Amino acid sequence: MSDRDAGGRGDATGEEAGEPAADNPPVRRVSDWDAERLRGLAGEHETPLYVQDLDRVRENCERLLAAFPDADVRYAVKAHTGRAVLEAVRDAGLDAECASAGEVDRALAAGFDGSRLHYTAVNPPARDLDYVAGVAEAEPELTVTVGAVDALDRLAERGYDGRVCVRVNPGVGAGHHKKVTTGGAAKFGIPYDRAAEATRDAAGRFDVVGLHAHAGSGIDPDQLDSHRELVARMGELARDLSEPSDRDGDDPRDADPIDLEYVDVGGGFGVPYEEDAPALDLPAVAEATREAVAPLPAGVDLAIEPGRYVVADAGVLLTRVNTVKPTPDETVVGVDAGMTDLLRPAMYDAYHPIRNLGGASGEPPVAEREATPVTVAGPICETGDTLGRNRALADPSRGDLLAVGVAGAYGYEMASQYNSRPRPAEVALDDGRAAVTRRRETLGDLTTVEREADRDRTDRPEGDR
Q: Is 381 noted as a catalytic residue in this protein?
A: yes
Establish whether 410 is an annotated binding residue: yes
Per this entry, what is the length of the chain? 465
Residue type, 316: V
Establish whether 306 is an annotated binding residue: yes
Establish whether 344 is an annotated binding residue: yes
CA distance 308 to 79: 6
* CB of 356 closer than 8 Å to CB of 396: yes
Q: Give the end-to-end CA distance of the chain in Å, rounded to a whole number.
A: 54
3-class secondary-structure state, position 53 = strand
* CB of 111 closer than 8 Å to CB of 89: no
Establish whether 348 is an annotated binding residue: yes
3-class secondary-structure state, position 154 = helix
CA distance 35 to 44: 14
Catalytic: which of 61, 98, 165, 381? 381
Establish whether 308 is an annotated binding residue: yes
Helices (H), 159-277: 192-203, 224-241
> CB neighbours of 424 closer than 8 A, spacing ≥ 6?
47, 48, 49, 50, 317, 337, 341, 412, 415, 440, 441
Establish whether 412 is an annotated binding residue: no
Establish whether 20 is an annotated binding residue: no
CA distance 243 to 265: 21
Which residues belong to the active site? Answer: 381
Binding positions = 268, 305-308, 344, 348, 382, 410
Please enumerate, by residue number, every residue annotated as part of a binding site for substrate: 308, 344, 348, 382, 410
Annotated binding-site residues for pyridoxal 5'-phosphate read: 268, 305-308, 410
